[in-house]
Amino acid sequence: MLTHSIRAQLSPLANIFANHGYSIYLVGGAVRDLLLGKTPTDFDLTTDALPQDTMKLFKNVIPTGLQHGTVTVRWAKMSYEVTTFRIDGEYVDHRRPESIVFTSSLEKDLERRDFTINAMAIDLLSGQLIDFHQGQEDIKLGIIKAIGNPEHRFKEDALRMLRACRFVSKLNFKLDLSTFEAISKLAPLLSKVSIERIRIELDKLLQGQSPITGLQLFEDTGLFQVLRKEILDLYQFPLDWSHLETKDLCKVEIQTIRAHFYAQATYGRTKEPILVEKLGKVLNQMKYSNHDSNEIKKLAEIYCNFDSPFTLYGFKKALEYWGDRNWKIIWDYFYMNSDEELDENIKDVWKSWIQHPIFLGDLKINGRDLMNLGYEGKEVGKLLKIIQKEIWKFPLKNEKECWMNTELLSKFLKSQ
């Protein structure tokens, strides 16, 4: 179960617990990833040692969540969240338990978790897999299933409903029927969750193996309608992901997928001019940073303003409009929003062109050179744009000497 490298990494730490009479287990996503044949990126541990006991065992410990029994142990240049076995008290706000009680029972600790695939543990000393809820079987079947009574699980923590959609997207699994029915019934509870937590889960959903499946489930369960109506006050129309079913979105930039989702959520698949203020309001409600919000809005504007993106001209025009060096985001966005296959001739030209994309900052001639030729003010900016477009057509002309010709430059200015 544990790979040789992970065992070598965790055994010294586990031995410290064992030498002081404590048990220690790997839990959660790392166990799930190992069963899926993936290499975990982080490691959550659980133990019967109390937080203060764990803090005595190691020199470098950060009390990151003492109220939940969690400390972060810094060990061999790595950070490990270590949480004491616990039983959660009553959930009064549909998000967090009002109290917790520490326990010596690993079984009790695991049964408080959300889904069967996240409720397994590996004994770090023996390497034994502990699975009280058939999580291993559900992984084999490709199923996301709530532990125990799904309604009870979601009434405890309403965010778990969106997490179910996220795991469907992340793992390309299916949702268990009883779990689906419980989410559909309790979807209005999503309004009890902070918008920041919703945004984080939604972003993770958009970056999964199968975001289309996750988003469709997000809508089919009624969760999207709750977000739209009770939180964002958006128009009520169905999302349309059919044009994306044949596209591989795993390698698409997150900003691109975000922009596609929010443009659809706000305006549908229409081509009417986008109202930036409306989209900006939505992104502000979702608590995106100014940087992320501006990038999403710009991409959404591109979607509405360029009718034929799969042409070299349309792509270059979008780059000019974007005013940024990140051509991949724009290309991804065109790829996502096209209902057509890319013409092979255009693809060949485009592949050739991106080997040396020319942005204003790449020009061998600059504004100071043009000012030295006698141009000033807005003329300088216009000329640089003109030169950029000419070099798009003829990349080899990106040499300063080609453009130090006032007669040629004046002719270009007059033609505008």
**Per-residue confidence (pLDDT) for residue 275, from 0 to 100:** 64
Question: Which of 236-250, 313-327, 340-354 has the lowest average pLDDT?
Answer: 340-354
Residues in the chain: 416
Residue 373 and residue 404 in contact, taking contact as beta carbons nearer than 8 Å: yes
Taking alpha carbons only, the member of 156, 168, 151, 161 closest to residue 190 is: 161
Q: Which residues pair with 79 in a beta bridge?
A: 74
Q: What are phi and psi of 329, to 5 degrees?
A: -60, -45
Q: How far apart are CA 83 and CA 374, in angstroms?
A: 70
Q: How far apart are CA 336 and CA 309, in angstroms?
A: 11
- Which DSSP helix (H) or strand (E) runs through 44? strand 44-47
Average pLDDT over residues 349-364: 70
pLDDT band at residue 296 under the 50/70/90 scheme: confident
Q: How far apart are CA 27 and CA 235, in angstroms?
A: 42
Taking alpha carbons only, the member of 175, 88, 103 closest to residue 138 is: 175
**Per-residue confidence (pLDDT) for residue 274, from 0 to 100:** 57
How many CA within 13 A on the CB side of residue 179? 23
More reliable by pLDDT, 208 or 251 = 208
Q: How far apart are CA 133 and CA 120, in angstroms?
A: 8
pLDDT band at residue 355 under the 50/70/90 scheme: low
Is the pLDDT at 271 greater than 60, yes or no?
no
Question: Which of 26-40, 145-159, 324-338, 339-353 has the lowest average pLDDT?
Answer: 339-353
Give CATH 3.30.460.10 domain extents, the chain: 1-141
Classify residue 205 as left (phi > 0), alpha (psi -120 to 50) or beta. alpha
Q: How far apart are CA 315 and CA 326, in angstroms?
A: 12
Taking alpha carbons only, the member of 331, 336, 326 closest to residue 261 is: 336
More reliable by pLDDT, 222 or 90 = 222
Average pLDDT over residues 216-224: 94
The tokens 């509405």 sit on which residue?
A: 304
Coil, strand, or helix at residue 367? helix
Is the pLDDT at 303 greater than 70, yes or no?
no
Is the pLDDT at 205 greater than 90, yes or no?
yes
Q: Which residues pair with 45 in a beta bridge?
A: 26, 82
**Per-residue confidence (pLDDT) for residue 300, from 0 to 100:** 77
**Per-residue confidence (pLDDT) for residue 30, from 0 to 100:** 96
**Per-residue confidence (pLDDT) for residue 62, from 0 to 100:** 95
Q: Any idea what DSSP says for residue 91? A: B
Is the pLDDT at 166 greater than 90, yes or no?
yes
Q: How far apart are CA 347 and CA 338, in angstroms?
A: 14
**Per-residue confidence (pLDDT) for residue 53, from 0 to 100:** 96
**Per-residue confidence (pLDDT) for residue 149, from 0 to 100:** 96
pLDDT band at residue 335 under the 50/70/90 scheme: confident
Q: Percent of the chain having pLDDT more than 70?
A: 86
Q: How far apart are CA 243 and CA 332, in angstroms?
A: 14
Is the pLDDT at 295 greater than 70, yes or no?
yes
pLDDT band at residue 340 under the 50/70/90 scheme: low
Name the CATH superfamily for 1-141: Beta Polymerase, domain 2 (3.30.460.10)
Q: For residue range 113-153, what is the model confidence (pLDDT) as tens digits?
A: 999 999 999 999 999 999 999 999 999 999 999 999 999 99
**Per-residue confidence (pLDDT) for residue 217, from 0 to 100:** 95
pLDDT band at residue 67 under the 50/70/90 scheme: confident
Is the pLDDT at 323 greater than 90, yes or no?
no
Taking alpha carbons only, the member of 362, 367, 397, 401 closest to residue 382 is: 367
Among 179-193, 341-355, 387-401, name the most confident range: 179-193
Q: Write out the two tokens for 102.
A: 């520490």
Question: Mean pLDDT, the chain, as a whole number?
Answer: 86
**Per-residue confidence (pLDDT) for residue 196, from 0 to 100:** 94
Q: Is the dihedral of CA 403, 409, 413, 416 positive or negative?
A: negative
Query: What burial letters (b/e) apply to 9-32, b meaning 16+ CB within 10 Å?
Result: bbeebbeebeeeebbbbbbbbbbb
The tokens 């616990």 sit on which residue?
A: 86
- Please name the residues in contact with 42: beta carbons below 8 A apart, sequence gap of 6 or more: 29, 30, 79
Q: Write out the two tokens for 178.
A: 């009883």
**Per-residue confidence (pLDDT) for residue 342, from 0 to 100:** 59
**Per-residue confidence (pLDDT) for residue 235, from 0 to 100:** 65
Taking alpha carbons only, the member of 273, 268, 202, 222 closest to residue 241 is: 268
Among 93-107, 122-136, 394-408, name the most confident range: 122-136
More reliable by pLDDT, 378 or 123 = 123
**Per-residue confidence (pLDDT) for residue 123, from 0 to 100:** 97
